[in-house]
């Protein structure tokens, strides 16, 4: 079995989002060997939805969690309430039905929303990769006013990436050996 080429993770810090974007456009345009846009992560202090036009579509599964949670809330709510009311058969109902669908609709709606929101939150935690150990290749300036580009690159291709970073006025470059290959 052939030994894998050692890889590194490179972080370039930029003072300007436009410069960071130019780096990614160049990577797309000039096709640096061993570097794929799929292996690029952009870290920024604010949300840049326009980034997706350059990085391409990347998956986001939060909506699936939301739908599952809402459906669960709907079904569970209906059964929970019906079960609770059926258990109170002994209660005098005054001629009214034991399981009251019309009033239960209000409560089922609340349960749908409650579980929908909880599932959305869980989906966010999973989808965003939160509650995991933070990468050591990080910088506090990213939460202030700098933009970071993280690229996974093979050792032999590091220099072209560094040059590309420098061409676009990178402020600082850091690298870490990738151990989990």
Contact between 178 and another protein (CB under 8 A)?
Answer: no
Q: Which is nearer to another protein, 146 or 157 (CB)?
A: 146
Contact between 125 and another protein (CB under 8 A)?
Answer: yes
Q: How far is the CB of 166 from another protein (least distance, A)?
A: 18
Q: How far is the CB of 148 from another protein (least distance, A)?
A: 8
Burial class, 138, CB count within 10 angstroms (exposed 0-12 / middle 13-18 / buried 19+):
middle
- Show the CA angle centred on residue 178, arms to residues 49 and 43, nearest 5°: 20
Out of 134, 136, 179, 180, which residue is the one contacting another protein (CB under 8 A)? 134
Q: How far is the CB of 140 from another protein (least distance, A)?
A: 4
Out of 8, 37, 39, 41, which residue is the one contacting another protein (CB under 8 A)? 41
Inter-residue contact 152 to 7 (CB < 8 Å): yes
Inter-residue contact 13 to 141 (CB < 8 Å): yes
Q: Per CB under 8 A, which region of 1-9, 56-64, 151-159, 172-180 contacts another protein?
A: 56-64
DSSP 164-178: HHHHTT-SEEEEEE-
Q: How far is the CB of 2 from another protein (least distance, A)?
A: 31
Contact between 26 and another protein (CB under 8 A)?
Answer: no
> In 3D, which of 70, 78, 28, 90 has the Cα closest to residue 53?
28
In angstroms, the CA 83 to CA 85 distance is: 5
What is the three-class DSSP state of 6?
A: coil
> In 3D, which of 66, 44, 70, 69 has the Cα closest to residue 55?
44
Q: Which residues lie near another protein (CB under 8 A)?
A: 14-18, 41-49, 51-52, 55, 58, 60, 62-63, 66, 81, 84-85, 87-88, 91, 96, 100, 103-104, 106-107, 109-111, 113-114, 116-118, 120-121, 123-125, 127-135, 138, 140, 142-147, 150
């Amino acid at each position: 079995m052939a030994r894998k080429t050692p890889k590194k993770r490179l972080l370039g810090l930029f003072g300007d989002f436009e410069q960071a974007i130019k780096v990614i456009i160049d990577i797309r345009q000039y096709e640096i060997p061993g570097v794929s846009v799929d292996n690029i992560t952009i870290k920024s202090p604010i949300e840049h939805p326009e980034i997706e036009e350059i990085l391409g579509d990347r998956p986001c599964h939060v909506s699936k969690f939301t739908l599952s949670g809402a459906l669960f809330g709907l079904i569970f709510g209906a059964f929970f309430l019906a079960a609770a009311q059926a258990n109170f058969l002994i209660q005098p109902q005054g001629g009214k039905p034991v399981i009251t669908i019309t009033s239960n609709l209000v409560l089922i709606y609340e349960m749908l929303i409650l579980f929908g929101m909880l599932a959305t939150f869980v989906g966010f935690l999973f989808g965003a990769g939160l509650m995991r150990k933070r990468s050591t290749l990080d910088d506090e300036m990213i939460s202030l006013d700098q933009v970071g580009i993280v690229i996974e690159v093979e050792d032999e291709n590091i220099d072209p990436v560094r040059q590309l970073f420098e061409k676009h006025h990178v402020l600082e470059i850091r690298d870490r050996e990738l151990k989990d290959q």
